[in-house]
Structure 1
């Protein structure tokens, strides 16, 4: 092998050979590749594309590097369901390639007689036609697979098909070789950076502007502090132990200790969110925000940035730098001044054209060279001098120019409080445990998560006729529920049963009993809204797999870790209830990221449903007396307070519902996975 040194037992790949190996692996992958290995290859390819300023190629490979095993599972389940419906399906699927071969190479007339003689008068084409598969597979199903259809052109085509209201952003952890060497519990904290890729953005409407990727340092900590990943997993373990041991509390001292630990865990989660916001994402949080509904505000931002660029003569700024500046200036009312200045510096120095920098670079520091891969490998001194040579004024002046632009809208309350269209986050499995939705820059935005671009497209095409203005139009007429099926959460049963009977009396379901698997699947198939209140996600009740349910139910799973992604082994892909429900076609699943307590969750879920589901109840749920709610008793004779405004956007209703609990651990655990939903 090339450059193999027998004395060091190491292989040093030259750059062309490295790229050839990567290309061979990712483009000649088997029909059902090993998910983690496939993802690793794609992440490496994304880095190679980013190094040569190929943002489109980088975004495509990052899109392929997300939840690959789930795609394989969806394809497998689809094949199983087709085989169950048609016993000859497998045979037909093997015949189809033969038919394609026959059609592509017609038999010459001179050989037709000989062929008929050998086949004893049998018309092969007619027999193949008899067993052929008539239905053409829709493209959204084909794109789930690992085939030649997964390419840059089709990727860009899909992005253009999405509703123009959506902001689609992917957060990805770079390839880490320790994934092949260490157990999951060790390498899951071994993260030093992440890729933030905006597929669609308020300033990328024009087809000329491709997806944009930035490389952000992560897991940054001050001296004496725990790394952020270590702290998050540590407090989640503590949260689990605290809640799990609550059943053994038998005296006042233990009870007081329990509440003290709960408060401590809450403070630690607030600290995690604060570090994510201030010291991790910083100004790059601007790329997570949704598109402005009021387009005049967007036009003001563009005019301000463009005027600054022309007045100061930023002659070598790339289109990518412009878009990054648009986003940053737009979000400056909710960012700190230091975050903004740091981000401006990085945009001006690290996201220009690397070839331009390489031509003017004259390293004087002794550590930088022209052989860099990414601009952030250069020291600030070399970056500053290169900037000055390109633009003919200093980096300090460049930062000052945009800082002055920031001051013109920094205190703009209209921009700060402006309503926005939905944000869809595609979150890497290594980052999925973090409470992104409760970041200060996002906590009032309509935000949902999706597994990957493939499943987002899959759900979008399935429900395309019901999607208007970027929202899935959901009915709330038919409701089904399963409450306390294991019969060991009596107070939760009293609370949620009394709520459903008061607010949604037309709904039906099972209370304090196990539904049969067929009943559970029927609930998912028939309902507009399905509510589960119990331990976990409840999908184990649909024995044989909930993927066989076919419907458009909005699922609310109010159990511990109901939408948590759990990897069962060191290299096994994560599995979760919402994966199966999305395969079944459910447009939205709302649930919890980790262990929660029933009273606080009951507050959040009842508030959410009362905001989203219309009701003829005489008193708004927020005004109902709940002193004896745990006994199933509601007081509707209370004085009517100020009217409560319904919220037909589910994602906005979730933002409001989080405020019904005083515990950040409960509020931040609630996430939505799927298409943005609006009630009709």
Structure 2
């Protein structure tokens, strides 16, 4: 019922006089007859077509399965290839294995109930995750510039996790009806010119800062367009549930449940419908009255009386609903289609204050969960750390002296026992070996330099490691998925870190400037990683530190010590994703804030003296 809001799209791309169910079956026969393997690029497009056809035929279960199967086809095949190489090496006497076990990537796309089914895999995943998949629908000739750069409909697939969750479902959001502004085209144009704009020479500082402000304004406009005119009221599907239901949450859910129980309609509501109505009530603080009314009217098209009662009751509780915006929420796990990974989803108002991570596909998310399952507690991979658990590589190119000076001051003060390498390495150790040491023998690896560091340790070598560290890449475009060209999907070094089983990778989705990034880096590290420093980094005088001087604000009580290994400190946040959300607020440029992305598992540190 909710998927029928893409009629224009359906008429444009659906063959005339073709029944959706028949088309789906014909595509499956083609795949079977030709022996089309998942390594073939067209396999992803075929699954999008079958998902689209299943939606049109009203078979939601089949639609969800095929939309999931359409994601990260090339990456999954590369994981298989890498693991096969380890097996070949094993036969030749090499015992060291690396890479994600491809058996965890297996998925029964035919909706059969077994250990490989979607429901069984989702039931294994932590209840503390709130998982949503965003899929660009099938589009003929999508690799052509005029097709790939324009805004389009969007499949939002909700994937509830845990043993007692409802069945997954999908809703198709139409393209925004705004012929005057195309947010996808504008964001791509902005990102394509971002690097040249930052590197250009300007006659004076005023001209440079006007350019930066123009960039910020364009990105903010695009984010608002995405949130309020593209996703519209369906953005509520991206808002994670409360981690634990408060009294206010229970009150809002109780209102919905009572009205449903009192309804005298002979037609019982499906679990999906009840879930959606509860979702509207608990996220009403993010929605306008008009949006609440539109949602409930669409969810209950055949029960106007119940819909009217629900609208009036939820709107009347606006104060309670607004308070729910402050609830501590589950981790939002976004499964993002590689074709739309450039979009700054985390910068939306509904996500900016909450923990968010990305995966390219559910297959990869499940595989990473299985690889680290023994150390995952309450939805987070727990890393036990001490004062020497991390390693930093700063300014290896030796041409970022101001950044190096700032970070040297910070690291010497906050993490003096980390092994941090600046601008030059010992003669006996190459830079590639330093990277390997940081990735394999430490819990945290921090890189502050140009790009992602693959100029020192290529991605092909990363894949041959069993990466232990959470990887922090504070360089320009360090986790960007780069368009390869033709029909192939975008690809980036973050995929190679996932292949090497790294728990997670933090980085930038496009080019950023060093000062703003350094502010975020110091705030994030000092919030997430405990220290025995005497004073909290929250009291640093950022202006003086930016110019290379360590000085704290005078209003800090002298002599007072704040031991950050004491987890009761108000500034300590052991969950990495929550610390990232906090630290983004110190960014002075919206372009920097919107560029920060985490890919991989939620991670939590546990201090060990």
TM-score range, shorter chain: 0.7 to 0.9
3-state SS of paired residue (2:340): coil
Who is 1:195 aligned against?
A: 155
| TM-score, normalising length: structure 2 | 0.87
Shift of 1:540: 3.2
Shift of 1:676: 0.9
Q: Is it true that 1:300 corresponds to 2:251 in the alignment?
A: yes
Contact 2:23 2:53 survives alignment (8 Å): no
Q: Is it true that 1:335 corresponds to 2:287 in the alignment?
A: yes
- Quote the RMSD (CA, aligned, Å): 2.8
For residues 513-524 of structure 1, the aligned pairs below 5 Å read: 513=424, 515-524=430-439
Contact 1:292 1:418 survives alignment (8 Å): yes
Contact 1:526 1:553 survives alignment (8 Å): yes
Q: Is it true that 1:282 corresponds to 2:232 in the alignment?
A: yes
How far apart, CA to CA, are the structure 2 residues paired with 1:11 and 1:398? 38
Q: Is it true that 1:261 corresponds to 2:208 in the alignment?
A: no
Structure 2 segments unaligned to the other structure (5+ residues): 1-14, 563-569
Shift of 1:21: 2.4
3-state SS of paired residue (2:343): coil
3-state SS of paired residue (1:509): strand
Contact 1:169 1:425 survives alignment (8 Å): yes
Who is 1:172 aligned against?
A: 135
Contact 1:427 1:451 survives alignment (8 Å): yes
Per-residue CA distance 1:54-100 (angstroms, 9 max, x = gap): 333222211111111000011111112232333289xxxxxxxxxxx
Contact 1:283 1:328 survives alignment (8 Å): no
Who is 1:481 aligned against?
A: 392
Shift of 1:609: 0.5
Who is 1:461 aligned against?
A: 370
Q: Is it true that 1:609 corresponds to 2:525 in the alignment?
A: yes
The verdict on how the C-alpha distance between 1:145 and 1:303 changes in structure 2, with shifts beyond 3 A counting, is closer
How far apart, CA to CA, are the structure 1 residues paired with 2:414 and 2:599? 25
How far apart, CA to CA, are the structure 1 residues paired with 2:284 and 2:604? 29
Q: Is it true that 1:141 corresponds to 2:50 in the alignment?
A: no
Q: Is it true that 1:68 corresponds to 2:73 in the alignment?
A: yes
3-state SS of paired residue (1:338): helix
Shift of 1:138: 13
Shift of 1:140: 5.9
Who is 1:162 aligned against?
A: 125
Per-residue CA distance 1:363-419 (angstroms, 9 max, x = gap): xxxxxxxxxxxxxxxxxxxxxxxx3xxx4xxx4x45422211212432114422111
Per-residue CA distance 1:271-327 (angstroms, 9 max, x = gap): 111112221212212111223123255543332112222334344343322211111
3-state SS of paired residue (2:604): strand
2:262 to 285, 294, 311: 311
Who is 2:566 aligned against?
A: none
Q: Is it true that 1:534 corresponds to 2:449 in the alignment?
A: yes
Shift of 1:241: 2.4
The verdict on how the C-alpha distance between 1:287 and 1:165 changes in structure 2, with shifts beyond 3 A counting, is same
Q: Is it true that 1:493 corresponds to 2:493 in the alignment?
A: no
Choose 441-450 or 66-75, whichever is displaced more: 441-450
Who is 1:574 aligned against?
A: 490
How far apart, CA to CA, are the structure 2 residues paired with 1:510 and 1:440? 38
For residues 2-401 of structure 1, the aligned pairs below 5 Å read: 17-26=22-31, 32-87=37-92, 141-144=102-105, 153=114, 154=116, 155-179=118-142, 182-183=143-144, 185-200=145-160, 206=164, 209-221=166-178, 223=179, 225-245=180-200, 248-249=201-202, 251-252=203-204, 255-297=205-247, 298-316=249-267, 317-349=269-301, 387=302, 391=303, 395=304, 397-401=305-309
How far apart, CA to CA, are the structure 2 residues paired with 1:313 and 1:192? 40
Who is 1:661 aligned against?
A: 587
3-state SS of paired residue (1:448): strand
Choose 145-154 or 474-483, whichever is displaced more: 145-154
Contact 2:37 2:43 survives alignment (8 Å): no
Who is 1:378 aligned against?
A: none
| TM-score, normalising length: structure 1 | 0.78
Per-residue CA distance 1:148-206 (angstroms, 9 max, x = gap): 89966422211110011111110101100122xx53x32222342111011116xx863
Q: Is it true that 1:647 corresponds to 2:573 in the alignment?
A: yes
Shift of 1:554: 0.9
Contact 1:545 1:580 survives alignment (8 Å): no
Who is 1:422 aligned against?
A: 331
How far apart, CA to CA, are the structure 2 residues paired with 1:465 and 1:629? 41
Who is 2:341 aligned against?
A: 432
3-state SS of paired residue (2:283): helix
Choose 284-293 or 158-167, whichever is displaced more: 284-293
Per-residue CA distance 1:587-641 (angstroms, 9 max, x = gap): 1111111111110011111100000000011121121234443454312584426
Per-residue CA distance 1:620-673 (angstroms, 9 max, x = gap): 112123444345431258442697521111111111111001221111111111
Choose 274-283 or 308-317, whichever is displaced more: 308-317
Who is 1:407 aligned against?
A: 315
How far apart, CA to CA, are the structure 2 residues paired with 1:302 and 1:314? 20
- Higher Rg: 1
Per-residue CA distance 1:25-71 (angstroms, 9 max, x = gap): 45577585345311111111212332344333222211111111000
How far apart, CA to CA, are the structure 1 residues paired with 2:64 and 2:489? 22
The verdict on how the C-alpha distance between 1:189 and 1:563 changes in structure 2, with shifts beyond 3 A counting, is same
How far apart, CA to CA, are the structure 2 residues paired with 1:670 and 1:29? 42
Per-residue CA distance 1:401-445 (angstroms, 9 max, x = gap): 221121243211442211112110001112211111121112111
How far apart, CA to CA, are the structure 1 residues paired with 2:77 and 2:167? 28
3-state SS of paired residue (1:213): strand
How far apart, CA to CA, are the structure 2 residues paired with 1:440 and 1:29? 46
